[in-house]
A = this chain, B = another copy of it.
Amino acid sequence: MAQLSSVYRRLEEGSKRLTPQRELIIKLFLERPGQHLSAEEVHQLVKNEFRDIGMATVYRTLEMLTQLDVLQQIHFNDGRARYEINLETTNVHRHHHMVCLRCGRVEEFQEDLLEQLEDRVLKDRGFRVVDHELKFYGTCRQCERKQGGRS
């Protein structure tokens, strides 16, 4: 897994140690490139392989990995932070999200039609964009089929 060694290198550069707990957490995210896990979910998943890991360690590791730009923190307006792996750290522009209002599932899409908008904003308002975040809220295919589009 090519990504793994690059993450390890980042740890070293920050003089961070690669403990079993941290390794498990990192692998968790690398194995699930499209997922957005909460701290609680990470804790549950890691516990399968490392019984005694504490929530504090999970939070501290997630914080550290976010600082190192290995993870990215996201909020979906449900009051808890979620994390996803940042596969293209060098690329500040990331993919976007579709949040299903029925089942809560979060899908993603890769699309970048926003450059022109960013240019406009810089010209008109003097705001220099370094990152953007786009979320669509609606109904996913499954829920759409199930209920024909109405709540």
Q: Let me know if A129 and B137 touch, CB within 8 A.
A: yes
Q: Mark A114-130, 1 if CB is under 8 A from B, else 0.
A: 10111011000111111
* A79, A107, A126, A136: residue with the most chain B Cβ atoms closer than 10 Å: A136
> Known interface pairs A77-B73, A128-B149, A130-B101. Does A109 touch B121 (Cβ–Cβ under 8 Å)?
yes
Contacts of A126 in B (CB 8 A): 140-141, 144
A77 to B73, CA, bound (A): 8
Within 8 A of B (CB), among A123-151: 125-141, 144, 149
Q: Let me know if B139 and A130 touch, CB within 8 A.
A: yes
Contacts of A128 in B (CB 8 A): 138-139, 144, 149
Min Cβ gap A30→B in Å is 24
Within 8 A of B (CB), among A81-138: 81, 98, 100-101, 107, 109, 111, 113-114, 116-118, 120-121, 125-138
A107 to B124, CA, bound (A): 13
Q: Let me know if A77 and B75 touch, CB within 8 A.
A: yes
Min Cβ gap A148→B in Å is 11
Within 8 A of B (CB), among A48-88: 73-75, 77, 79, 81
A120 to B130, CA, bound (A): 25
